Amino acid sequence: MIIDGFVHQLPDTDPGETEEWLQSLDAVVDIGGKTRARFLMSKLLERARELQVGTPATVSTPYVNSIPAEQEPFFPGDEDIERRIRAFIRWNAAVMVVKANKHADGIGGHLATFASSAALYEVGFNHFFRGKDDGLAGDHLYFQGHAAPGIYARAFLEGRLTEEQLDHFRREVGGKGLSSYPHPRLMPDFWEFPTVSMGLGALCSIYHARFNKYLHNRQLEDTSGSKVWAFIGDGECDEPETLGSISLAAREGLDNLIWVINCNLQRLDGPVRGNGKIIQELEAVFRGAGWNVIKVVWGGKWDELLMRDVDGVLLNKMNTTVDGEFQRYAVESGAYAREHFFGPDPRLRKLVEHLSDEEIRNLPRGGHDYRKLYAAYKAATEQEGGPTVILAKTIKGWTLGPDVEGRNATHQIKKMTTDQLLTLRERLHLQDEVPEEALADGKEPPYIVLPDDSEIGRYMLDRRTALDGSLPRRVVRTKRKLELPAKEAFDELLAGSGKQAASTTTSFTRLLRNLCRDPKFGPRVVPIIPDEARTFGMDSLFKEFGIYASQGQHYEPVDHALLLSYKESRSGQILEEGITEAGGLASFIAAGTSYSTQGVPMVPFFTFYSMFGFQRVGDLIWQASDARARGFLLGATAGRTTLLGEGLQHQDGHSLLLASVNPAVEAYDPAFAYEVATIVRHGLRRMWLDGEDTIYYLTLYNENQVMPAMPDDVAKGVVEGLYRWADAPHGPTHQATIVFSGSANLAAREAQQELAEHYDVAAELFSATSYKRLREQALTTERWNRLHPDQPARTPRVTELLAGEGPIIAVTDFMKAIPDQVARWVPAGRRFTPLGTDGFGRSDTREALRRHFEVDAAHVVVATLAALAADGALDSGVVADAIRRYEVDPDQADPRLTP
């Protein structure tokens, strides 16, 4: 077999002995059968592990619990009380969703996810999750988004939420409501991490755990008391973001990370792996990636059956039954399981002879067995050297009754009839707490409220007090104050580049270096790069600041003799993520929320290939906003024509447009180094002096030009989005305004000269650093005017600034829709023409590309003259003259439409 071909290449020092062992195995198979042989092999492997022989780990184990019954630890809680707590929470969660849909039909909500995972959460809340009392950072919990109702129900029982709030589940307008899912934006004192865009919470939890180690290893904060717990759906594991970075967690030895995967075998539409076994599949994936895997498949009542399974027939049945069948057993009667699961084999049937159909039906799954879960969590929290995943088998909709449990439609069930509520009440043994008449038709089902000082309430709160307070809870309290950088850090960029040419990218790298060097602020800077540092000239930072590597550097780098060698270090500052923009963003979120999760403000600067930012990982940027991350995103090699040569999949002419839709993101398109410095400085102040949870996006170009020194009195304009960069030349008859952004400044400046020299047009130049900001300000003004009809109308800033004469031409290396954002507010009577790079990119020189996309100086001239002609100020022959002079092809195919 090819797969084992390596064996033939190993030296055999004693062929005789080898043969004896092989013959023994042959004999076992002949006499004892394959099951027996498998058993012996497993025993041998176990012994080899104990003896540290170093055999490779197998990727899968039989379909049983990883922790055998005899190795389960003592359970220190009061199981009865905890069962009651769980029942109350289950009930209140269901009532909350049912009531919400009664009051506002169609408002939604989910019952089945939490119903399957209640025990997964409760064992954590009662015994493991560390809170944040006394200034502690505590554990960090990523909840399955659709389990939110259960988390609210517990908070209510703990007295943290009111009945009125529960009654406003999913009705947030007005301020009393609870958000549908975990949203730190909407419930900033409660939820810490957004999770409901499937896969993103999982990914973020890995990088969060890694970032906690980074803070620790760089001696910025002792994070050893914080574990990161992520609760994930089995269906959610199909998202590439969920499993895509798990090898990092093992490589980095993240023993502060625990995943609990709720394997209810179902997703939204149906089974996750009807024809396979999701738990086995995930086990292999995680073991292969180097994780500690704990399977919690069967509840305690199976232990006795497994013990009596001397022939291995039960084990064999467990191993060979597919998930689709297991789901069927969840909805059928005990008699059905006796017939089909235990039935075919008389030895198997005999194993359950002594059980009634009802007892067979109630043989529970491991994920509903509190003691099994306790054992798994305890082992996970004690694990050293790597991450743990707990694969817990559950039933979706568990306890919600036969119409909901295990049904394919269960995910979206949000209404319950009186009969269904009565069944639930009975199932949860709530006859005392919920009077039957309270559920009569037309009545509002009641929440269970704990009387003051009840034993159960006391127990629950005592547990949380012993574990440092209630969760989830988000706090912002600064343990280690951030001091903003001294002004000197920005001076180099403000002074311009003298006679030398520089790009905004290399200028930014200098700024980043200066910021890192600032004695107080420097250590808080987190430079993040996904394997692109050389492209951006950032490899110059490697040696000075070091690349973070938890294990240090076990080799002498190939370039050790060079001044700028590749230096990895445990205290390294740079997060060189490798080729993963998603991972980079997850690090950005971890660093950008550290002000809250750890009380240690950190300032991430994530520099990426502009095309692979908003376009590639836009939802993670949305996640960052929801998580209230603060920091800087730098879209380098920006522009559709400035990035020459690379072509269609690299040239970004639209990230600014994508950035414009995110309410927490400021989107800037600076032309000059001093603009970059001014914007970054302003962003730092807004984030860290004003405490705004905002993200700054700046495009950076790789075209070199002489960077001018910062003119006087433009700082305000730079941050507000628009300022006059050059007056119109004196002399010419006609007036016009050219507005440029980014690298398009070169075309605009050349056009200004051409217009004056050849066409008697005096054009003033404006730099538009942020159309988004101009538009937002204009919208604010417009709204104010609309709602204050009796007050003097206010004028939007962009209207005020562009109060000149003649047409306005706006030129950008991005799509025309970018300048179009402000077209409505251009002063009446001024014709507005945007020139931009709509269409697919392609490889060529900058000159050829700019001609193709009609954004070069010639096209700026032609557009200006055409606008003046349309206004009647010029004869159309002048336009034709310019077209001839600059050899513009009037019949060139429209770049928007060319393939």
Secondary structure string (H, E, C) spanning 559-579: CCCCCCCCCEECCCCEEECCC
Q: Could you say which residues in the range 587-616 bind ligand TPP, by CB under 6 A?
A: none
What are the helix and strand counts (H, E) for the chain?
34, 20
CB of 146 to ligand TPP, least distance (A): 5
Token duo for residue 472: 């989830």
Residue whose CB is less far from Mg ion, 264 or 642: 264
CB of 408 to ligand TPP, least distance (A): 11
Write down how long the chain is.
899
Cβ atoms of residues 291 and 389 within 8 Å: yes
CB of 273 to Mg ion, least distance (A): 11
Q: Which residue is nearest to ligand TPP (CB)?
A: 233
Residue whose CB is less far from ligand TPP, 264 or 497: 264
User: Cα(230)–Cα(262) distance, rounded to whole angstroms?
Assistant: 10
Residue whose CB is less far from ligand TPP, 236 or 309: 236
E-assigned strand segments in 471-524: 501-502
Q: What is the dihedral of CA 383, 388, 391, 396, to 10 degrees?
A: 110
711: region left, alpha or beta (phi > 0 left; psi from -120 to 50 alpha): beta
Residue whose CB is less far from ligand TPP, 404 or 874: 404
Residue whose CB is less far from ligand TPP, 197 or 319: 197
CB of 712 to ligand TPP, least distance (A): 50
CB of 268 to ligand TPP, least distance (A): 4
- Which partner from the list ligand TPP, Mg ion, none does 852 bind, CB cut-off 5 to 8 Å by kind? none
135: region left, alpha or beta (phi > 0 left; psi from -120 to 50 alpha): left
Token duo for residue 650: 């690299």
Residue whose CB is less far from Mg ion, 264 or 540: 264
User: Cα(656)–Cα(211) distance, rounded to whole angstroms?
Assistant: 29
- Which partner from the list ligand TPP, Mg ion, none does 516 bind, CB cut-off 5 to 8 Å by kind? none
Residue whose CB is less far from ligand TPP, 305 or 322: 322
- Which partner from the list ligand TPP, Mg ion, none does 197 bind, CB cut-off 5 to 8 Å by kind? ligand TPP
Helix (H) or strand (E) holding 511: helix 504-517
Residue whose CB is less far from ligand TPP, 82 or 241: 241
CB of 272 to ligand TPP, least distance (A): 6
CB of 270 to Mg ion, least distance (A): 10
Binding flag, residue 413, ligand TPP (CB under 6 A): no
Token duo for residue 754: 């051409």
- Which partner from the list Mg ion, ligand TPP, none does 198 bind, CB cut-off 5 to 8 Å by kind? ligand TPP
CB of 261 to ligand TPP, least distance (A): 9
Q: Kind of pairing, strands 734-740 and 388-393?
A: unpaired
Beta-carbon neighbour count of residue 840 at 10 Å? 16
The 178-217 contact track toward ligand TPP, x by CB under 6 A, reads ------------------xxx-------------------
Token duo for residue 199: 């896969």
Q: Which of 377, 389, 365, 298 is nearest to 73 (CA)?
A: 377
CB of 62 to Mg ion, least distance (A): 22
Q: How many Å is the Cα radius of gyration of the chain?
A: 33
CB of 626 to ligand TPP, least distance (A): 13
The C-alpha angle 820, 823, 826, rounded to 5 degrees, equals 150
Residue whose CB is less far from ligand TPP, 180 or 651: 180
| Interface contacts to Mg ion, rule CB under 5 A | 233-235, 264, 266
Token duo for residue 732: 């010419």
Binding flag, residue 367, ligand TPP (CB under 6 A): no
Binding flag, residue 396, ligand TPP (CB under 6 A): yes
Q: Which of 83, 67, 815 is nearest to 459 (CA)?
A: 83
Binding residue (CB under 6 A) for ligand TPP from 411, 474, 682, 850: 411
CB of 289 to ligand TPP, least distance (A): 19
CB of 327 to ligand TPP, least distance (A): 11
What DSSP string describes 374-397? HHHHHHHHH--SS-EEEEEE--TT
Residue whose CB is less far from Mg ion, 238 or 559: 238
Q: Both ends of the chain: CA-CA distance in Å? A: 49
Residue ranges in 278-322 assigned as alpha helix (H)? 278-289, 301-307, 313-320
Residue whose CB is less far from Mg ion, 101 or 264: 264
- Which partner from the list ligand TPP, Mg ion, none does 596 bind, CB cut-off 5 to 8 Å by kind? none
Residue whose CB is less far from ligand TPP, 268 or 880: 268
Token duo for residue 711: 């003119």
Residue whose CB is less far from ligand TPP, 292 or 410: 410
Q: Could you say which residues in the range 227-266 bind ligand TPP, by CB under 6 A?
A: 233-236, 262, 264, 266
Beta-carbon neighbour count of residue 88 at 10 Å? 25
Helix (H) or strand (E) holding 851: helix 846-852
Residue whose CB is less far from Mg ion, 181 or 697: 181
CB of 859 to ligand TPP, least distance (A): 42
Size of the site for ligand TPP (CB under 6 A): 19
Q: Could you say which residues in the range 755-814 bind ligand TPP, by CB under 6 A?
A: none
Binding residue (CB under 6 A) for ligand TPP from 146, 273, 338, 654: 146
- Which partner from the list ligand TPP, Mg ion, none does 399 bind, CB cut-off 5 to 8 Å by kind? none
Beta-carbon neighbour count of residue 188 at 10 Å? 15
Residue matched to tokens 């900058």: 846
CB of 410 to ligand TPP, least distance (A): 9
Q: Could you say which residues in the range 96-115 bind ligand TPP, by CB under 6 A?
A: 113
CB of 617 to Mg ion, least distance (A): 25
Q: Could you say which residues in the range 261-290 bind ligand TPP, by CB under 6 A?
A: 262, 264, 266-268, 272
**Three-class SS of residue 213?**
helix
CB of 237 to ligand TPP, least distance (A): 7
Residue whose CB is less far from ligand TPP, 138 or 182: 182
Q: What is the dihedral of CA 878, 882, 887, 893, to 10 degrees?
A: -80
Helix 614-626 and helix 200-217, axial crossing angle in degrees, nearest 10: 70
User: Cα(756)–Cα(132) distance, rounded to whole angstroms?
Assistant: 67
What DSSP string describes 266-290? B-SSSBSSTTS-HHHHHHHHHHHHT
DSSP, res 108: -
Residue whose CB is less far from ligand TPP, 147 or 538: 147
Q: Which of 415, 411, 394, 272 is nearest to 330 (CA)?
A: 394
**Three-class SS of residue 632?**
strand
- Which partner from the list ligand TPP, Mg ion, none does 146 bind, CB cut-off 5 to 8 Å by kind? ligand TPP
- Which partner from the list ligand TPP, Mg ion, none does 268 bind, CB cut-off 5 to 8 Å by kind? ligand TPP
E-assigned strand segments in 760-829: 761-768, 808-811
- Which partner from the list ligand TPP, Mg ion, none does 236 bind, CB cut-off 5 to 8 Å by kind? ligand TPP
CB of 298 to Mg ion, least distance (A): 18
Residue whose CB is less far from ligand TPP, 114 or 370: 114
Helix (H) or strand (E) holding 337: helix 334-340
- Which partner from the list ligand TPP, Mg ion, none does 865 bind, CB cut-off 5 to 8 Å by kind? none
Helix (H) or strand (E) holding 351: helix 346-351
- Which partner from the list ligand TPP, Mg ion, none does 113 bind, CB cut-off 5 to 8 Å by kind? ligand TPP
User: Cα(428)–Cα(776) distance, rounded to whole angstroms?
Assistant: 53
Q: Which residues bind ligand TPP (CB under 6 A)?
A: 113, 116, 144, 146, 196-198, 233-236, 262, 264, 266-268, 272, 396, 411
